[in-house]
Amino acid sequence: MKLFELALPSWYSNAVVRHITFGILIGFTLSVTSTSISSYRRARRRQSLFSEQHEFRPIVLRSDEVVCGVTGLIGNTPLVRIDSLSDALGVEILGKAEFLNPGGSVKDRVALRIIEDAERQGLLHPHTGSRIFEGTVGSTGISIATIAKARQIPQAVEPISRFLAIIMPDDVAQEKVNALLALGADVQRVRPASIVDKKQYVNIARRAAIEFGRSDIMKGLEDARANHELHTGSASVVVTTTSSHINAEGTIDDPLDEDLLSKPRGFFADQFENRSNFEAHYNGSGPEIWRQTNSHVDAFVSGAGTGGTIAGIGQFLKSMNEEVQVVLADPEGSGLYNKVRYGVMYDRKEAEGTKRRHQVDTVVEGIGINRMTNNIDLAVPIIDDAFRITDVEAVAMSRYLVQNDGLFLGSSSACNLVACIKFVKKRGWRDGQTLVTILCDSGNRHYSKVSAWYLGRADVP
């Protein structure tokens, strides 16, 4: 024993130092152990939370399923690996193939949730001659028309009446207008304008829903058509996206009043402000992505038009793993890039929401906005980075994907993938990290607007 003690350093013979050393070693061991246990418990808690809220099952092809109507085809879209980009960058870039929804876009999820919530709240009823109003650049309108037809909402009082009124800018691709008309919607095209302008397409849709219950609408219908005003129809009740009904006289009705259930009413879908937009992705797209990637997501990249997609999916993924990076892809003419990067939507000399100049003309449709909405408010706090994407970059990416991956996608999808590349390069990722983005719709919906670029015009890279 004495020989052993002599072999030790002289300072170690001191009992106090020896006890301190043992204490440090024990403390370090306990710290490492507790950290490991805590990490394990957090992982188990996320998995348990996910399992409680969502059915934990693999995504499978529908070849052995029989779904109930068109709405049964919405969601459960696959993730597709973008081989050319993934191989070149050394990461996994996965696109959520939302163009495979029956209405052809990611907006099918939103339209279905909006209509289901409106019916559940007593704001909209099938077979009553009710009419839906919406301001959109096209995809949401097409989705609403598809789902409303499937759910038998278009049973109008008069056969000639249209069940859906869509107000949209006059610079959107003609393919979207053709699809809406084929689905039985009444389409009004207006000049692009700022949200503070009463002639802005969303404001026109809101006003048309309010006017739907006025008794003098039918009287002035023919004059309105002659002046290219919106055909507003006739009804006795006007519905907003709140939980009440507003009559033409300004009085508010109980939405569950039995006398009102059979009356036709106007419903303003209001995708920009409607919380159903966010919920469709928080409870649908987000859990699907988490399940499809086996809980391995390093970043989620998305553009924002209404803000519902990036807010809903981003918040869900961060609730499962707070380390997931949420990245915004923002086209030219949009103010969200500045909002995320610098905290202001416009130049410091201008107040947000008061700018009257028209938005910068761009070939990109469906994403980009110059105002804060309820859904954008939910998105901005969770966005970790943002990239501005030019038209040239978006069109070049569209052509690249056709030539290298056989994917003919819309301009918003191209923006998302350009942002994926920029983010990967900025972070220096090359070790197989997983990025998920949204492939919003097919290029077929945008062909007439950007056909020169898709055909390979010489002056576009």
pTM, to two decimals: 0.76
End-to-end CA distance of the chain: 82
What is the bridge-based pairing of β-strands 299-302 and 265-268? unpaired
Distance CA 262, CA 124 (A): 10
The β-bridge partners of 331 are: 389
> Predicted confidence band at 431 (pLDDT cuts at 50, 70, 90)?
very high
| Nearest to 135, CA basis, from 104, 105, 164, 110 | 164
Span 369-380, average pLDDT: 92
Tell which CATH architecture fits domain 107-268: 3-Layer(aba) Sandwich (3.40)
> Predicted confidence band at 381 (pLDDT cuts at 50, 70, 90)?
very high
The β-bridge partners of 79 are: 96
What's the Cα-to-Cα distance from 188 to each of 103, 199, 235, rounded to whole Å?
Answer: 20, 12, 20
What's the Cα-to-Cα distance from 277 to each of 313, 376, 437, 446, rounded to whole Å?
Answer: 11, 11, 18, 23
> Predicted confidence band at 131 (pLDDT cuts at 50, 70, 90)?
confident
Span 448-457, average pLDDT: 56
| Nearest to 120, CA basis, from 8, 279, 350, 247 | 279
Provide the pLDDT for residue 68: 78
Q: What percent of the chain has pLDDT over 90?
A: 40
Q: Which of 99-113, 346-360, 375-389, 395-409 has the lowest mean pLDDT?
A: 346-360
Record the tokens describing residue 50, joined without a space: 């996910």
pLDDT at residue 264 is higher than 90: no
> What are the structural domain ranges in the chain?
62-104+275-454, 107-268
Provide the pLDDT for residue 345: 79
Task: Classify residue 105 by its DSSP letter.
Answer: B
Task: Classify residue 61 by its DSSP letter.
Answer: -
Phi–psi pair at 238, nearest 5 degrees: -115, 135
What's the Cα-to-Cα distance from 336 to each of 89, 169, 348, 387, rounded to whole Å?
Answer: 27, 20, 14, 10
Q: Which of 82-86, 216-220, 290-294, 333-337 has the lowest mean pLDDT?
A: 216-220
pLDDT at residue 269 is higher than 80: yes
Span 252-277, average pLDDT: 71
Average pLDDT, the chain: 77
Span 254-264, average pLDDT: 53
Span 337-353, average pLDDT: 71
| Strands, sheet with 245-246, edge to edge from the N-terminal-most edge strand | 186-190, 164-169, 131-135, 265-268, 237-239, 245-246, 252-253
- Listed in sequence order, the residues at least 6 apart from 152 whose beta carbon sits closer than 8 Å to its beta carbon are 126, 127
62-104+275-454 against 107-268: fold identical: yes
246 or 336: which leads in pLDDT: 336
Greatest mean pLDDT among 190-199, 245-254, 310-319, 402-411:
310-319
Contact between 327 and 301 under an 8 Å Cβ cutoff? The reply is yes
Provide the pLDDT for residue 356: 46
Provide the pLDDT for residue 235: 35
Distance CA 240, CA 255 (A): 11
| Cα–chain center distance at 176 | 19
pLDDT at residue 308 is higher than 80: yes
Span 245-270, average pLDDT: 56
Provide the pLDDT for residue 220: 37
Distance CA 284, CA 292 (A): 12
User: How many CB atoms are closer than 10 A to CB 371?
Assistant: 18
Span 140-149, average pLDDT: 90
Provide the pLDDT for residue 453: 55
Q: Which fold has domain 62-104+275-454?
A: Rossmann fold (3.40.50)
What's the Cα-to-Cα distance from 349 to each of 124, 142, 229, rounded to whole Å?
Answer: 43, 39, 36
Span 72-81, average pLDDT: 94
Record the tokens describing residue 273, joined without a space: 């402000």
Contact between 185 and 177 under an 8 Å Cβ cutoff? The reply is no
Using CA atoms of 423, 425, 431, 433 in order, give the dihedral in degrees to the nearest 10.
10
Q: What is the pLDDT of residues 434-445, one digit of tens each?
A: 999 999 988 777
Query: Residue for token digits 């003309």?
Result: 361
361: left (phi over 0), alpha (psi -120 to 50) or beta: beta
> Predicted confidence band at 231 (pLDDT cuts at 50, 70, 90)?
very low
Phi–psi pair at 447, nearest 5 degrees: -60, -45
Span 402-409, average pLDDT: 93
391 or 214: which leads in pLDDT: 391
Query: Residue for token digits 């650049």?
Result: 137
Provide the pLDDT for residue 23: 74
